[in-house]
Amino acid sequence: MLVALLPGDGIGPEVITQARRVLDALAIDGLVFEEALVGGAAYKATGHPLPADTLALAKRADAILFGAVGDPDCDALERHLRPEQAILGLRKELSLFANLRPATLFPELADASALRPEVASQIDMVIVRELNGDVYFGEKGMRKTATGKREGYDIMSYDEDEVRRIARVGFETAMARDKKLCSVDKANVLETSQLWRDVVIETHAEYPEVALSHMYVDNCAMQLVRNPGQFDVIVTGNLFGDILSDQASMCAGSIGMLPSASLDAAQKGLYEPIHGSAPDIAGQGKANPLATILSAAMMLRYSLGLPEQADRIEAAVAKALSGGARSPDLGGTHSTREMGDAVLAALT
Ligand SMILES: NC(=O)c1ccc[n+]([C@@H]2O[C@H](COP(=O)([O-])OP(=O)(O)OC[C@H]3O[C@@H](n4cnc5c(N)ncnc54)[C@H](O)[C@@H]3O)[C@@H](O)[C@H]2O)c1
Ligand SMILES: CC(C)[C@H](C(=O)O)[C@@H](O)C(=O)O
Ligand SMILES: [Mg+2]
């Protein structure tokens, strides 16, 4: 089993190092790693954020463990050369259309949530985010209006097949949980969202046991803070899912806690924390590696068929937190490496 390790930029390499230590400690027979450059690091070395060798490795691998990309030095580059194009390119090239972002509060972290503990303790949801379409991948550009003003534009669209396949992932995810699916859109304003809602309703016929509801995205942002316990599975588009998952992370304690899986139709996947390269804390040993370690657990469960090993990692993370391991984002002083040490010490 080949895992492509793509550490990327900023805190990416720091958190990937800790996830690698945990995976090594499991001593899984036949698991091998191959590392490659991606993002700003790849641009600086090769002139491209997603070099052909890196893409080829990602295609060849059984799974990909990804850190983060993004480098302030690269923010003025033409868009197709920016680090972020690497993760967008991998998602598109590998048809990783289904992004699962579980948001659960570890009970020990009730005090780290931005919400009151009794509200935060209810959080146990999965955000299913579409990842290959929407305004992210529509025609975009800069142009001049008839009166000579500069105008930026990005076209938002979904076709019905794109909506149907992610809706099915939403319903399947709900079937494996509490059978409650909330589809989040902006159908009161956007035609893209009206189609989204129509197709989700049509797809519901295949999953009559699931209780389906619909919510506008602005209300959803409010409800996530008011009463996050009402959500079991949320299914939504690329842009809304990006924003809502960062918000959900803070309800669950920290953006440094939320893992993710990006899957294709055959469960091949890329696994990454939902956070970015955090240039403000990079190189200081302050990054929380738990989101990446939990992403490694998702990789073992979804793409490598090793659910017991995934359980071991998740149990070790819970035990490390019970034992008081807290990086600065969780209100403590543990360094990135000390967080890794705590998980390793808790592995049974
Ligand atoms: N998938 C990805 O690779 C990805 C995701 C999001 C952002 N980015 C990129 O990352 C760069 C920085 O973006 P941003 O600042 O908006 O978002 P960010 O997620 O990198 O950071 C937001 C805030 O959260 C903190 N934070 C993030 N991860 C943390 C962790 N593991 N432990 C402790 N604190 C953590 C940061 O210090 C920062 O204050 C940009 O270039 C952006 O495009 C990449
Ligand atoms: C870096 C960026 C392209 C990416 C996104 O918007 O999808 C990030 O915010 C994420 O959540 O993975
Ligand atoms: Mg994001």
Listed by start position, the domains of the chain span: 1-98+257-348, 113-129+158-252
ipTM summary value: 0.99
Torsion from C-alpha of 301, 331, 104, 238, nearest 10 degrees = -80
Q: What is the pLDDT of residue 110?
A: 87
Q: What is the pLDDT of residue 132?
A: 98
Q: What is the pLDDT of residue 236?
A: 98
Rounded to two decimals, what is the model's pTM?
0.97
- Condensed to tens digits (0 to 9), the pLDDT of residues 106-130 reads 998 988 888 999 999 999 999 999 9
Q: What is the pLDDT of residue 112?
A: 85
Interaxial angle between packed helices 336-346 and 290-302, expressed in degrees from 0 to 180 and rounded to the nearest 10:
50
Radius of gyration of the chain (CA): 20
Report how far residue 90's alpha carbon sits from residue 85's, in angstroms, rounded to the nearest whole number.
8
Residue 127 Cβ inside 6 Å of ligand 2? The answer reads: no
Residue 304 Cβ inside 6 Å of ligand 2? The answer reads: no
**How many CB atoms sit inside 10 A of residue 101's CB?**
23
Low pLDDT (below 70) residues in the chain: none
Catalogue the active-site residues: 136, 186, 218, 242, 246
* Token pair 């076209």: residue: 155
Residue 88 Cβ inside 6 Å of ligand 2? The answer reads: yes
Residues belonging to the binding site for substrate are 91, 101, 129, 218
Q: What is the pLDDT of residue 7?
A: 98
DSSP-derived pairing of the beta strands 98-104 and 261-263: antiparallel
Mutate to test the pocket of ligand 2, among 84, 97, 271 (most ligand atoms within 8 A of CB): 84
| Alpha-carbon dihedral sign for residues 293, 295, 301, 304 | negative
Report how far residue 107's alpha carbon sits from residue 130's, in angstroms, rounded to the nearest whole number.
29
Residue 199 Cβ inside 6 Å of ligand 1? The answer reads: no
Q: Which residues contact 64 (CB under 8 A, 6 or more apart)?
A: 3, 4, 6, 58, 90, 269, 270, 271
Report how far residue 146's alpha carbon sits from residue 155's, in angstroms, rounded to the nearest whole number.
19
- Condensed to tens digits (0 to 9), the pLDDT of residues 156-197 reads 999 999 999 999 999 999 999 999 999 999 999 999 999 999
* Token pair 């939990």: residue: 294
Torsion from C-alpha of 139, 132, 8, 221, nearest 10 degrees = 90
Please give the number of the atom of ligand 1 that sits closest to the Cα of 292: 31
Please give the number of the atom of ligand 2 that sits closest to the Cα of 87: 3
What secondary structure letter does DSSP report for 63? E
Residue 68 Cβ inside 6 Å of ligand 1? The answer reads: yes
* Token pair 């909330």: residue: 182
Which residues are within 5 Å of ligand 3 (an ion), measured at CB?
242
Answer whether CATH 3.40.50.2300 is correct for domain 113-129+158-252.
Answer: yes
> How far is the centre of ligand 3, averaged over its atoms, from the C-alpha of 110 (Å)?
23
The fold adopted by the segment(s) 1-98+257-348 is: Isopropylmalate Dehydrogenase (3.40.718)
Q: What is the pLDDT of residue 278?
A: 98
Please give the number of the atom of ligand 2 that sits closest to the Cα of 260: 12
Q: What is the pLDDT of residue 282?
A: 98
Mutate to test the pocket of ligand 2, among 82, 242, 260 (most ligand atoms within 8 A of CB): 242
Mutate to test the pocket of ligand 1, among 277, 280, 339 (most ligand atoms within 8 A of CB): 277
**How many CB atoms sit inside 10 A of residue 308's CB?**
9
